[in-house]
Amino acid sequence: MTLTEYLAEDRVVTEVQDDDVRGILKQLLAPVSGASNETVLAALLAREKVLSTGIGHGIAIPHAISSSIPEPQVLLGISPEGADYRSMDGEPVHVFFVLLSPPDRASHHTRLLARIARLGRDPAFVEGLRGCGDPAGAIEYIASYERTHA
Just list the catalytic residues.
63
36/58 Cα distance (integer angstroms): 29
Residues in the chain: 150
Q: What φ, ψ does residue 131 adopt, rounded to 5°?
A: -85, -5
Please give the torsion angle defined by the CA atoms of residues 80, 30, 47 and 137, in that order, rounded to the nearest 10 degrees. Answer: -40
